[in-house]
Amino acid sequence: MARLVRDLGLKTCLEGVVEKLEEDYSRWETFQKVARTANHCDLGVVELMPSSTDEEFAFKYVNGHPKNYLQGMSTVMAFGALSDLRTGWPNLLSEMTLLTAIRTAATSVFVAKLLARPNSRRMAMIGCGSQSEFQIVAFNELMGVREFTVFDTDPHAAAKLNRNLGHLNITVCESTAEAVSGADIVTTCTADKLRATILTGDLIEPGMHINAIGGDCPGKTELAADVLTKGRVYVEYEPQTRVEGDIQQMPADFPVTELWRVLERPSEGRTTETEVTIFDSVGFALEDFSALRWVYQMCQRHAYGEPIDLMPIMPDVKDLYGHSGLVLSLV
């Protein structure tokens, strides 16, 4: 995956995934959708994310363990598969740790293009971990955002981001409030398994678009309740976000709009320069489906990847026993 991304360039990869997201969100009603399964422990969660059309099926295995860095492992790690739903034959088994960072950044931009002010030039990035550079590059390359103010409670993380993206206009700030002040777009991408309040209502300015990525599990939020009442809240798949998103802290009938409705009817999106828009992102299986579809297309087009012996190919498909060499010799 890293070779593919280096060869094609991150911008091309992000554009490719955004294109697939646009295609798939536009045919939302043709998807078989389900909220992901999540197996929790006190340190984190392992999730399975399936989705399909009538023809293709995809799933992702992904974890979320904010303290994993203490054991030399990432907070988020993933792999997944894309298969033919008509036969069940898997066509692609793929790494998805790097791919998740790309698809999450692509999703952020896909949504911001629908909801943020088109002339947005400055973004605050709160949380400078694994996802952060991908977010910044996506907003810079695909949305023309030129100025980034960043903050992380871990100064090493902010310094790492600054080092990796030295060619961009980045200001490392001393606090969330300093980073957020005057921003057109605010992206929160922190990891802590608690009800955090990274953003509070007093920090929100007219016209801001909030891209809240890190609150994605029961008991793990980033936005104070008074942020969620500042503007209209947009979600990927309502049944999943009610449980996992920042809106888990709101009443069950708190109004939200699913993103696909904005594609269908743009008046469901931003209508004035001054309103606040809030994307309560948790990550939905359809986005991984789109990303895997793009990877498969690239593998076919540019001959990446290699065949692996995962499924049996047998001269007599009913003779699994014989093919497996289990028939005892009588001599």
* 203 in contact with ligand NAD (CB under 6 A): no
* Residue 42 known to be catalytic: no
Q: Is 207 left (phi over 0), alpha (psi -120 to 50) or beta?
A: left
**Closest distance between ligand NAD and the C-beta of residue 292, in Å?**
15
Work out the number of other CB atoms within 10 angstroms of the CB of residue 82.
21
Window of 26-34, 84-92, 126-134, 247-255 that interacts with ligand NAD by CB under 6 A: 126-134
Q: How far apart are CA 48 and CA 140, in angstroms?
A: 31
CB nearer ligand NAD, residue 269 or residue 283: 283
Residue nearest to ligand NAD (CB): 129
**Closest distance between ligand NAD and the C-beta of residue 165, in Å?**
14
Work out the number of other CB atoms within 10 angstroms of the CB of residue 25.
24
**Closest distance between ligand NAD and the C-beta of residue 281, in Å?**
4
Active-site option among 152, 216, 246, 288: 216
**Closest distance between ligand NAD and the C-beta of residue 324, in Å?**
40
Query: Which residues, 6 or more positions from 150, have their beta carbon under 8 angstroms from its beta carbon?
Result: 124, 125, 126, 128, 132, 136, 158, 161, 162, 170, 171, 172, 173, 179
**Closest distance between ligand NAD and the C-beta of residue 78, in Å?**
9
CB nearer ligand NAD, residue 207 or residue 214: 214
Q: Can you tell me which of 52, 94, 190, 240 binds ligand NAD, judged by CB under 6 A?
A: 190
* 277 in contact with ligand NAD (CB under 6 A): no
User: Which residue type is seen at 266?
Assistant: P
* 140 in contact with ligand NAD (CB under 6 A): no
Q: Can you tell me which of 54, 154, 226, 264 binds ligand NAD, judged by CB under 6 A?
A: 154
Q: Work out whether the CA dihedral 131, 274, 243, 113 comes out positive or negative.
A: negative
* 214 in contact with ligand NAD (CB under 6 A): yes
Q: Can you tell me which of 76, 99, 183, 199 binds ligand NAD, judged by CB under 6 A?
A: 76
Site for ligand NAD in 50-69 (CB under 6 A): 64, 66
In what order do the strands lie in the sheet containing 56-64? 37-41, 44-52, 56-64, 78-84, 90-95
166: exposed, middle or buried (Cβ count in 10 Å: 0-12, 13-18, 19+): exposed
**Closest distance between ligand NAD and the C-beta of residue 161, in Å?**
9
Q: Can you tell me which of 16, 80, 129, 269 binds ligand NAD, judged by CB under 6 A?
A: 129
* 14 in contact with ligand NAD (CB under 6 A): no
Structure tokens given for 208: 């801001």
* 189 in contact with ligand NAD (CB under 6 A): yes
CB nearer ligand NAD, residue 100 or residue 120: 100
Work out the number of other CB atoms within 10 angstroms of the CB of residue 222.
26
CB nearer ligand NAD, residue 44 or residue 207: 44
Residues recognised as catalytic: 216
List contacts with ligand NAD (CB under 6 A).
64, 66, 75-76, 100, 104, 126-132, 151-154, 157, 189-192, 196, 198, 213-214, 216, 281-283
